[in-house]
Amino acid sequence: MEKAPNYTDKKQRSMIEFIVVVVIVAIMMKLLVDVFFSQQVKITNTAFVGLAQSFTSKVNVVHGQWLMDKQPNTVVLNRLNSNTREFIRVNEMGWVDNEYTSLACHQIWQQVLAMPLQVVKSKIIAIEIKDNSIKNGRLCRYSIANGQYFYYRSDTGKVKQVN
């Protein structure tokens, strides 16, 4: 005849069951956090690529308007469904540029996208890279912390995305 489990046996079994449940919950939470952060990185990368494409489109729109307006120093764009106008400084080739030497790439970003240097919750770094082959313009590099970046050349208007 089996003996009925005593209080100590029940307590030990309950403690083991509790530990097993805690371990399973911890593993599930770890998996959930990993999935969340991997999605966050993908979202940031996708948003940054979208900003690079928007940057490219706006630079080309400004250049096209510069050609139609008979090559002024400043291109004026009217916003859709609004009376607001944007004044964008261009160089002698009609590409978005800035006459300032300090923070020029930051100013170019502001002229083109009119938004802070940020994507999702990541800061965007804007730096000017000295390149002796560029005589009448500048080379700007816009990058985020994960290493993704794109270049903008104000002498040719080219935007080169690097993943």
Ranges of each domain in the chain:
11-162
The 10s digit of each residue's pLDDT in 15-31 is 899 999 999 999 999 99
The 10s digit of each residue's pLDDT in 121-151 is 899 999 999 988 888 889 999 999 988 999 9
Residue whose C-alpha is closest to residue 53's, from 148, 159, 142: 159
Sign of CA dihedral 117, 120, 123, 128: negative
Number of neighbours of residue 104 by Cβ within 10 angstroms: 17
Q: Could you tell me the CA-to-CA distances from 133 to 106, 130, 150 in Å, in that order? A: 22, 9, 18
The whole-number pLDDT of residue 134 equals: 87
Number of neighbours of residue 143 by Cβ within 10 angstroms: 18
The whole-number pLDDT of residue 13 equals: 80
